[in-house]
Chains A and B, each alone.
Chain A
Amino acid sequence: MVKTILIDSTICPKEAVINTAYHFLDRAYIFLDRGRRRQDIKVVFDLKGGRRVSPRQWERLKGEFWNTLLHFMLRHQISRQNKKIREYIVRTALYSSVAGSGDAGVRQGQGADYLDDALGIRVPWEDKHGRRGKK
């Protein structure tokens, strides 16, 4: 049973429509195409199993589709708003993981061996904790 939904792409971004269609892939065969107007997106539904759908069931499915579309529109909007900060966080995390251990790490990688102790780890027990008295 083939049904069609038309979406205005000036209101809903393409990415949100694709994500919504993906969400319904387990229930229907879905095909995306252009509508008659240039800005329209035509979503063609063909329910799996070839079962007939009553008008009420179709209305319910359509309502679920609109709700899911709204959900993905919001996610898309938030993702766009937070793009810069997200990139900044990832850049900082990546940069600090390289630069933080960088100095010693790079030096160690360039022919220095562990006996050089670039990080100052090699401290004798006695120097660190003091000598214990003999029993």
Chain B
Amino acid sequence: MAAAGKSKTCRFSRRFYVRRALEAAAGAHAGLATLRVLQTKDHIIVRMTHIRFPDADRFVKEFANYALGMTKRCLASD
């Protein structure tokens, strides 16, 4: 596959996104890439490596949408 092995790093503000949600999103996308969730004082960083999806940019956007959905659910359940 053309994009196999591509890597991306995404930075989510902790003001809006919840780590639990990002971990859930990472779990859901684990079949398409290797994902690692890290955290700094202000941000949650998701490192995506070995992306096995034709369009890596689209993969990141889909991941961000999924993370937003999970964040909304996390906030609703808290």
Contacts and interface: CB of A to CB of B under 8 A. Distances in A.
Interface in A14-29: 14-15, 17-19, 21-22, 25, 29
A95 interface: no
Interface stretch (B24-32, B46-54, B60-68): B60-68
B64 A31 contact: yes
Interface of A: 14-15, 17-19, 21-22, 25, 29-34, 41, 46
A15 B76 CA distance: 9
Contact of B71 (A18, A34, A41, A46): A18
Contact of A18 (B61, B62, B72): B72
Interface residues of B, number: 13
Contact of A22 (B13, B15, B61, B68): B68
A18 B15 CA distance: 11
Interface of B: 13, 15-17, 61-62, 64-65, 68-69, 71-72, 75
B30 to A, nearest CB: 20
A117 B69 CA distance: 52
A25 B69 CA distance: 8
Nearest to A42: B13
Nearest to A28: B65
| Interface of B (DSSP majority class) | helix
A30 B15 contact: no
Contacts of B72: 18-19, 22
A59 B64 CA distance: 24
Contact of A32 (B13, B69, B75): B13
Contacts of A14: 15-16
B61 A29 contact: yes
A46 B64 CA distance: 11
**Across chains A and B, which 6 residue pairs bring their CB atoms closest together, nearest first?**
A29-B61, A32-B16, A22-B72, A31-B64, A25-B65, A18-B72
Contact of B16 (A18, A25, A29): A18
Contacts of B17: 32
